[in-house]
């Protein structure tokens, strides 16, 4: 799709299914935040705190969620929508610049080993290596420098950005996006200490990544020791996420940057992990668990819990304890004062007792 540099208010309303109030012919050039939008751009408001400040924005108009308290200037148009965030997505899908994909076919510098199978309409960039027995689905895109190991499978419509590595016998599903530097199927971190040295444990398993997954730049998913590491359908990972060997991650997980899951941990669907959170190895975490950023999870947790802290605890319990933790300096001072007062009283009592006939 060619880049759409400009569009009308009527087009924007149609794309996002909104109701327009204002000049339908007004020409717009994009979308930006309240404080950054120009006089030819839309902004958006998904909460009252934003809707009440639209008049202060230079924006030509606003995508406003129905039911909000909107304060705008008379010259600003409004597109009323059910969900402002999703409306932004719908418009961005229409105006996003076309991706700079390789040409259809195989670049002259790519190495496609005998026995590799290529689907229809693949795009394979410069310096790509596809080893023997690998299978690429229809319309797969491999940007320059990608490596696909022997007998690996890449599903249809999946895009691998530059320098992605998918090692031997691993599977990536359909419609996935792997950002630059992702490594799928490196050996898990496994050693046994014997006779003064660390003995490497061979990892003979694989990785299976479901459909519609997205993995951020430099994210790593290690291969299983015996069987396979599994990433469920629809899971999304930020940059620099680590998933250890033999992890079983459910569907539609969200893992924010620097999240880490230790080996052999099993996780239910709809996990959410904040930035820097860690699940230790060999634990079970239930469906819909939410882990706050920087939390350290060292034990099993049942479905639906919200947890935080190190070691992680249910959020309500943690916050209750943390309230008292913040009082510790004053509590310590009070204990010291009371200890001194007690010592003074004991000394005076001893003096009085010594004066008794």
Please give the angle made by the CA atoms of 144, 146 and 149, to the nearest 5 degrees. 155
Tokens of residue 156, six digits: 């249809």
Contact of 264 with 228, CB cutoff 8 Å = no
- pLDDT tens digits for range 194-244: 999 999 999 999 999 999 999 999 999 999 999 999 999 999 999 999 999
DSSP single-letter state for residue 80: E
Residues in Cβ contact with 26 at an 8 Å cutoff, skipping those fewer than 6 apart: 8, 9, 60, 61, 77
Residue 3: is its pLDDT beyond 60?
no
- Which of 163, 203, 245, 252 is catalytic? The answer is 245
Residue 38: is its pLDDT beyond 80?
yes
DSSP 315-330: HHHHHHHHHHHHTHHH
Alpha carbons within 13 A on the beta-carbon side of 320: 6
Measure the CA–CA gap between 263 and 247, rounded to whole angstroms.
6
Tell if the pTM clears 0.75, that is, is over it. Answer: yes
Residue 245: active-site member:
yes
pLDDT of residue 300: 98
- What average pLDDT does the chain have? 96
Beta strands in 72-215 (DSSP E): 77-81, 105-106, 111-112, 117-118, 123-124, 129-130, 135-136, 141-142, 147-148, 153-154, 159-160, 165-166, 171-172, 177-178, 183-186, 191-194, 197-200, 206-209, 214-215
Residue 103: is its pLDDT beyond 50?
yes
pLDDT of residue 354: 85
Could you tell me the CA-to-CA distances from 312 to 230, 259, 294, 328, 329 in Å, in that order? 24, 14, 9, 20, 23
Could you tell me the CA-to-CA distances from 6 to 23, 35, 245, 289 in Å, in that order? 15, 21, 48, 43
Long-range CB contact pairs, 50-59, < 8 A, 24+: 59/32, 59/34
- pLDDT tens digits for range 88-101: 999 999 999 889 99
Residue 65: is its pLDDT beyond 50?
yes
Residue 34: is its pLDDT beyond 70?
yes
């Amino acid at each position: 799709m060619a880049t759409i540099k400009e569009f009308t208010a009527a087009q924007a309303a149609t794309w996002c299914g909104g109701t327009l109030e204002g000049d339908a012919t007004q020409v717009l050039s994009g979308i930006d935040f309240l404080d950054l939008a120009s006089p030819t751009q839309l902004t958006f408001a998904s909460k009252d705190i934003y809707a009440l400040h639209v008049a202060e924005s230079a924006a030509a108009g606003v995508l406003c969620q129905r039911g909000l308290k909107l304060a705008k200037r008379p010259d600003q148009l409004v597109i009323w929508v059910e969900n402002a965030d999703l409306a932004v997505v719908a418009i961005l899908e229409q105006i996003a610049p076309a991706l700079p994909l390789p040409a259809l076919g195989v670049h002259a510098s790519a190495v496609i080993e005998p026995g590799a199978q290529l689907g229809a309409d693949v795009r394979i960039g410069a310096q790509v290596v596809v080893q023997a027995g690998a299978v690429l689905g229809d319309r797969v895109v491999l940007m320059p420098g990608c490596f696909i190991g022997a007998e690996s499978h890449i599903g249809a419509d999946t895009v691998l950005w530059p320098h992605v590595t998918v090692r031997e016998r691993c599977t990536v599903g359909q419609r996935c996006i792997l950002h630059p530097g992702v490594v799928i199927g490196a050996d898990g971190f496994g050693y046994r200490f014997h006779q003064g040295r660390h003995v490497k444990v061979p990892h003979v398993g694989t990785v299976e990544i479901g459909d519609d997954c997205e993995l951020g730049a430099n994210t790593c998913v290690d291969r299983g020791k015996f069987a396979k590491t599994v990433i469920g359908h629809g899971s999304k990972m930020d940059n620099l996420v680590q998933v250890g060997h033999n992890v079983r991650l459910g569907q539609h997980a969200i893992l924010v940057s620097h999240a880490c899951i230790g080996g052999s941990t099993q996780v239910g669907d709809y996990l959410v992990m904040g930035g820097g959170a860690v699940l230790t190895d060999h634990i079970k975490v239930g469906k819909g668990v939410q882990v706050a950023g920087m939390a350290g999870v060292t034990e099993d947790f049942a479905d639906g819990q919200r947890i935080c802290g190190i070691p992680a605890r249910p959020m309500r319990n943690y916050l209750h304890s943390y309230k008292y933790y913040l009082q510790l300096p004053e509590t310590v001072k009070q204990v010291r004062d009371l200890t001194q007062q007690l010592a003074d009283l004991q000394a005076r009592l001893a003096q009085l007792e010594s004066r008794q006939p």
